[in-house]
A and B are shown apart, each in its own frame.
Chain A
């Protein structure tokens, strides 16, 4: 199956700093990448959808200036949490799809963010 990597897997930062999370499709070109946030014992909450070369589409309630998404190439998307606060602490997961994956989203291993 298609492989998606995500880096870092875990990050601890101080309040007010910015954190960048990378999502890469390793063996396919991802025309669409998704960023999710997952709270403990909850389902996935879609934050934004990004298509290569265009601006990300954010879900209602997600601050685009706080969660900056860049889908610069067909294999890389980044999520930057700007001026992070403790309430941003969460599990962030990316996924990727392409016409070649037959509508299936493949997920990265996730990033656990802890803001102190």
Chain B
């Protein structure tokens, strides 16, 4: 089965706290891509990161960091020192390489609320 699970439906934290959004995936493919997208209240999906299955290096971009662990099939996303502007729904997605139609498999999304 090919599946993405974002078990956290909603997370609420106070500004400046660190927060981690979990993403667990299932795929039979050995080559695949993982993505994170942000959807603010305006609705537009903003691409945050793409990770190739062969690249397990963690990545940091400013306050954002991603922890990719193939051993646990997880690709978690951490926001450090959260800000109100980080409030959004965050989606994790999987692209199995064998899928020639390039169709993404989406998680259900995690709604992140950052309180001032």
A residues whose Cβ falls under 8 Å from a Cβ of B: 1, 32, 34, 41-44, 46, 49, 57, 91, 93, 95, 97, 102-110, 112
A32-B102, A97-B102 known; A107 vs B107 contact (CB < 8 Å): no
By beta carbon, the residue of chain A nearest B104 is A105
Selected from A34, A103, A105, A110, the residue in CB contact (under 8 A) with B43 is A110
Is A109 a contact partner of B43 (Cβ separation < 8 A)? yes
Is A44 a contact partner of B106 (Cβ separation < 8 A)? yes
Enumerate chain A residues within 8 angstroms of B50, measured Cβ to Cβ: 102-104
By beta carbon, the residue of chain B nearest A57 is B101
Is B47 a contact partner of A112 (Cβ separation < 8 A)? no
Enumerate chain B residues within 8 angstroms of A91, measured Cβ to Cβ: 43
Instruction: Please name 22 pairs of A and B residues whose Cβ atoms are closer than 8 Å in the assembled complex, sorted by A.
Output: A1-B47, A42-B109, A43-B91, A43-B106, A44-B91, A44-B106, A49-B102, A57-B101, A95-B45, A103-B95, A104-B35, A104-B47, A105-B102, A105-B104, A106-B47, A107-B37, A107-B44, A107-B45, A108-B44, A109-B42, A109-B43, A109-B44
By beta carbon, the residue of chain A nearest B95 is A103
Most chain A CB atoms below 10 A, which of B101, B104, B109 = B104
Enumerate chain A residues within 8 angstroms of B47, measured Cβ to Cβ: 1, 104-107
**CB contact list, B1-59 vs A, under 8 A:** 33, 35, 37, 42-47, 50
With A and B bound together, what is the CA distance between A32 and B101 in angstroms?
8
With A and B bound together, what is the CA distance between A109 and B47 in angstroms?
12
